[in-house]
Structure 1
Amino acid sequence: MAKEAHPLQQQQQQYAGNGARQEEDETYFDPSAPPPFKIAELRAAIPKHCWVKNPWKSLSYVVRDVLLVAALIAAAIGFNNTWFFWPIYWPAQGTMFWALFVLGHDCGHGSFSDYPKLNSIVGHILHSSILVPYHGWRISHRTHHQNHGHVENDESWVPLTEKVYKNLDNMTRVLRFTLPFPIFAYPFYLWGRSPGKEGSHFNPYSNLFSPTERKDVITSTLCWGMMCFVLLYLSLKMGPFFILKLYGVPYLIFIMWLDFVTYLHHHGYKQKLPWYRGKEWTYLRGGLTTVDRDYGWINNIHHDIGTHVIHHLFPQIPHYHLVDATKAAKAVLGKYYREPEKSGPVPLHLIKYFLQSVNQDHFVSDTGDIVYYQTDPYLNKNSN
């Protein structure tokens, strides 16, 4: 089918905001054009050491993060009655929860080590501790990587088609596209997925999973339930308000990090990026719609997860090799690699791209094999 009419210059202007001109060769670069290279060429360009999974190195990051989490908990207990400590503790611990999630994410990809049992044990411990069902999420995330950039088959922040969008009730639209609601979406996604899709990450009989995966999903759901029981027990012993301060608020900040980062992996670039369906979709073209981001000094804390293009194409590469792999692949990627805007110590520059995208990227056409996000001009007026 023909590509949906959406002039590239208009895309540039919409995201540039002030109509700033860009270099001519960049202005007329079509990101939806089939790339002149194959994925085998990218693979060959990446140094051999980038494919090596060192379980001891991976475990060292786990030890580092767990020790930091434990130290923050100890400090929280010691400074419980010091009011100014908590506004420091909450973002610090919430960010460390997010770091634990990324390490569990590596376990799910098998990039943590070459030992499936080690990956599963570490993944369950890390993800259950922050109320993520390890296998349930691992399997759906695998679906996301296998179908990245596909309108119907993708799993993470999948675009709504115009028909699905128009059938949403007003409350659902507001919750999905009005801050702060989108940055608290993850728990709801775990229970009910995205609009237009059915299933739960906790239900072994969900259509997310095959019959052979049900036992794994049951195991993860039980581990998740055990963590809920631990939190309930601690609330009874130490008081619910203290556990809310100690765990609840950092958990919410972790959710904010997760939704913010994963959203910006696939949205909010200055030039709108395509989504595919039908014969136009390929694994390579879908992976090239992802975006690298710079998070300043947080890059190291959250294990370079912002180095995302190469991760999406080759999820088996350990996080500590992603930067080197990306540097090596740039020569092949050419204009299909979008250099991330450099961040200060804190990535405040990304907030504007997040806000722009939430306000503009509402749905895609029901037809066409190459489509771009469109804007509902009445959404913000109606929500106000």
Structure 2
Amino acid sequence: MAILVLSECGLQSLPCISAIPRNGFILRDYSNPKLLHSSKIFTDQNPSPIKLLGGCFRERNWGIKVSEPISPVGEGERGESIKRVNGIEEDDSEFDPGAPPPFNLADVRAAIPKHCWVKDPWRSMSYVVRDIVLVLGLAAAAVSIDNWLVWPLYWVAQGTMFWALFVLGHDCGHGSFSNNPKLNSVVGHLLHSSILVPYHGWRISHRIHHQNHGHVENDESWHPLSEKIYRNLDNSTRFLRFKLPFPMLAYPFYLWKRSPGKTGSHFDPNSDLFVPSERKDVIISTLCWTGMATLLVGLCFTMGLIQMLKLYGVPYWVFVTWLDLVTYLHHHGHEDRLPWFRGKEWSYLRGGLTTLDRDYGWINNIHHDIGTHVVHHLFPQIPHHHLVEATLAAKPILGKYYREPEKSAGPLPFHLLGNLVRSLKKDHYVSDTGDVVYYQTDLEINHYSKSK
């Protein structure tokens, strides 16, 4: 597996643009301020490809050269900034979250200090070392003590650390880990394979999510079901999708089969998730995943199935729960309704502004501030250790489009469970028509749940 990863790292990176159709794209390297106003844009009406890096049209390491898709400039999104008096917006009209914002992406970027964009590979690696030491230390302590009063504490702690490893691998996929694509790829494979995530397969689908966030049809992560798709689901599928704990255990199944209404697999190089130039990457990641799975099976024979379930199996499902919980709550469950877009109403900026920041108490530091999600969605190249500062700088520009997260009353974010439960009871589907839509509630499913 290590040979495959190292040989893969010698491949030259190619320009990254998603195959998902959209109104337009913008290619920009945000690490170079000189390129801020020199980006080249092409749209569906002007489909001529941009020749970059040897004439290739897609890039494996998508986070290094930033690809920010935007629709053709809409009214209110360019050439008009927020008007403020002593830092306060002059416009006191009722806030419409589905309306175009009175600022553009460049306004937000300009507010973020330049040092927030700097990627320090040594600092990034220090977080990797910290997390791996904690993972190994927790496992050694649990085996040494071997007490059933300790094992549940170990499962929660180790599962949370698996989730922290995932976040660092996620940063590698975005290119926010370092400016070195080889380092990103090696670290990303080692971290993600260790927790049974196909690095390239997931990286590519996650890129699609970022490039289409807030779009009803094209979004990839926890996107809404249209009413037609929803009504065609059988009752058991609806029940499992909206009844705890089942939605919080969905991630492994999503990797194999994606969401309702979509086809393909993160392990299949021929899946419609990928273009031909990405198939080699997907094969390598699938082989790395297979190598880790084989190692775990071998350890089951060596150490015993029960011991491996205690050491790895249960923490893995705690990690899955964290992943599903965090990704869901960053796009659902706010007390105010969040819009979803179609057609010309969608843009990269407007879609990104429908994401939510969340406060996880002590877990904020453990899982590398992934709760500061709005700025991360708009600018995924910012290293995680600068996200809090970048968010504070961007908030005056974002205004009411930034929804202040509810603070955790204690060290653990138990307050988020209420948001999760309420959302699963209310956020079921969106209308088949309309370019700005909101979640609607199926009252029958709640009745069906009670009858079960």
1:382 aligns with 2:448: yes
Given candidates 31, 43, 51, the residue that maps to 2:97 is: 31
Report whether the alignment pairs 1:305 with 2:305.
no
- Counterpart residue number, 1:212: 277
Q: Which residue of 1 aligns with 2:138?
A: 72
Aligned equivalent of 1:40, options 97, 106, 110: 106
Aligned: 1:257 with 2:318: no
Identity of aligned residues (%): 73
Runs of 4+, deviation exceeding 6 Å: none
Q: CA-to-partner distance for each residue in 1:84-134, whole Å, 9 max, x for gaps?
A: 110110000000000000000000000000000100000000000000000
TM-score by length of 2: 0.79
Matches within 5 A, 1:1-384: 28-80=94-146, 82-343=147-408, 344-383=410-449, 384=451
C-alpha deviation, 1:33, in angstroms = 1.1
Compared CA separation, residues 137 and 252, structure 1 to 2 (3 A):
same
- Secondary structure at the residue paired with 1:355? helix
State the AA in 1 paired with 2:264: G
- Opposite residue 145 of structure 1, the aligned amino acid is H
1-structure distance, mates of 2:282, 2:296: 21
**Secondary structure of the structure 1 residue equivalent to 2:238:** helix
What CA distance in whole angstroms lies between the structure 1 residues aligned with 2:148 and 2:332? 38
User: What is the TM-score with the length of structure 1 in the denominator?
Assistant: 0.92
Secondary structure (helix, strand or coil) at the match of 1:378 reads helix
Where in structure 2 are there 5+ consecutive unaligned residues?
A: 1-90
Give the match's secondary structure for 2:150. helix
Q: CA deviation at 1:28?
A: 3.5
Q: Structure 1 counterpart of 2:421, which letter?
A: L
1:345 aligns to what SS in structure 2? coil
Cα deviation, residue 27, structure 1: 10
- Given residue 448 of structure 2, which amino acid in structure 1 is its aligned partner? N
Equivalenced residue count is 359
Structure 2 distance, partners of 1:326, 1:26, is 23
Letter in 1 for 2:266: H
- Report the residue type matching 2:260 in the other structure: P
What displacement does 1:26 show? 9.6
Distance 1:161 1:320, change over 3 A: same
Greater per-residue helix proportion: 1
| Distance in 2 (alpha carbons) for counterparts of 1:282 and 1:49 | 27
Relative to structure 1, the CA distance from residue 27 to residue 291 in structure 2 (aligned partners, 3 Å threshold; closer, same or farther) is farther
Structure 1 stretches lacking a partner, 5+ long: 1-24
What is the rounded CA distance, in whole Å, between the counterparts of 1:30 and 1:332 in structure 2?
Answer: 16
